[in-house]
Amino acid sequence: MTPTDLKANTEAAALQISWSDHDTWDYPYHYLRDSCGCAHCIHEITGEKLLDPNSIPDDIHIKSMKLVGNYAVKITWSDGHDTGLYTWERLRELCKCHACSAEA
Ligand SMILES: [Zn+2]
Ligand SMILES: [Zn+2]
């Protein structure tokens, strides 16, 4: 479960991820930002969502991405949010492609 390619698809406003064992899927920026699991967005103890989706700008996009070890990518968003870590496992959970939607 490792991406073979991560590419910002500016036209689609999505992060395009290709996997070794799964089809390529475009993760819409807004959806990805909204799914951030850091301590600012999700309460560490209660699991309550602290992030207000309405606070995410419509034109949210990725300013920069950095691979963390061999297991995650850290995204710096255009709204200044840079504490979110997206592990490969988490990204696969977030995938809403046809195959994954059918499974769920
Ligand atoms: Zn966050
Ligand atoms: Zn999928």
CA angle 49, 33, 47 (to 5 degrees): 20
Q: Considering every ligand atom shown, identify the ligand nearest to the alpha carbon of residue 52 and give its number.
A: 1
- Is it the case that residue 104 has pLDDT exceeding 90? no
Q: Which ligand is nearest to the CA of 75?
A: 1
The number of the ligand nearest the C-alpha atom of 80 reads 1
Q: What is the pLDDT of residue 30?
A: 98
CATH code for position 8: 3.30.2020.30
Look at residue 15 and tell me whether its pLDDT is greater than 80.
yes
pLDDT value of position 10: 93
In this prediction, residue 103 has a pLDDT band, given cuts at 50, 70 and 90, of confident
Ligand (nearest to CA of 76): 1
Give pLDDT tens digits for 20-75: 999 999 999 999 999 999 999 999 999 999 999 999 999 999 999 999 999 999 99
Could you tell me the distance, in angstroms and rounded to a whole number, from the CA of residue 47 to the centre of ligand 1? 13
CA 97 – ligand 1 centroid, Å: 23
Tokens of 25: 């899927």
Range(s) of the domain holding residue 52? 3-97
Structural domains counted in the chain? 1
Q: Averaged over 78-94, what is the pLDDT?
A: 97
Evaluate whether residue 42 is within a structural domain: yes
Contact 85, 93 (CB under 8 A): no
Supply the pLDDT for residue 7.
96
Distance 50 CA to ligand 2 centre (A): 26
Q: Has residue 13 been placed in a domain?
A: yes
Asked if residue 103 belongs to a domain, the reply is no
pLDDT at 92: 96
What single string gives the DSSP state of each residue in 45-80?
TT--B---GGGS-TT--EEEEEEETTTEEEEEETTS
